[in-house]
Amino acid sequence: MKRVLSIPAIVLIASLVVVTVFAGCGKQSDDTVTQTFELKLDGEVDQPDDRLFVVTYFYSSELEPAELADALTKLYTGNPPGEPPESLVQKIGGFCGPDGWADQVGEALGMEVTKDDAGECRGDTTYSVKLEVPRGTAIHYSLDTALLSNLDDSETFGGNTVGDPMDLPTAEDFDVLEKDERSEVTYTFKTGGQ
């Protein structure tokens, strides 16, 4: 004898499948967090057709802060330079800058650049860059500015470095992202510079 499911039974099974799928989707979003970098430019921007602002970040969801600090030290000061761990992500997030800046910076530094389409930097404006990463990710970041015409003369004006920004990174220079975070920095322009 062939057994046929009734319509209420089919609806019940379909409902269970839908609930299971949506429960899985909700769980995925619980596994990621968002780091928001917010930059407020205060005053009139000097050389707006040449000035750019970025956040440079290094992160790994698999390495502890001490391991990541050691890997970055070997990568940038080793002789010969070390190989980056597979889990290391090195990127630049752009707040604002002149036309074509992202391609030039990416090529010059050999890093992927993501940017908002904010255009030239304008004073008395707030910009943000959002980064979504797995929960528990160790991250090191710096906020930097430079003139596109002179990338070698950049200025680090913020970030999560504990000591001098030019010191080699240590475990204390990393944040571990367990929840959504917001980092807010103001860069003030005065006559003749910051």
Structure tokens that stand for 139 in this block: 């991250």
| Model confidence pLDDT, tens digit, residues 81-104 | 778 889 999 999 999 999 989 999
Confidence of residue 17 (pLDDT cuts 50, 70, 90): very low
Where are the chain's structural domains?
33-188
Nearest to 171 by CA among 181, 161, 179: 161
Burial of 29 (0-12, 13-18, 19+ CB in 10 A): exposed
The pLDDT, as a whole number, for residue 73 is 86
Confidence of residue 165 (pLDDT cuts 50, 70, 90): low
Residue 97 CA to residue 55 CA, distance in Å, equals 12
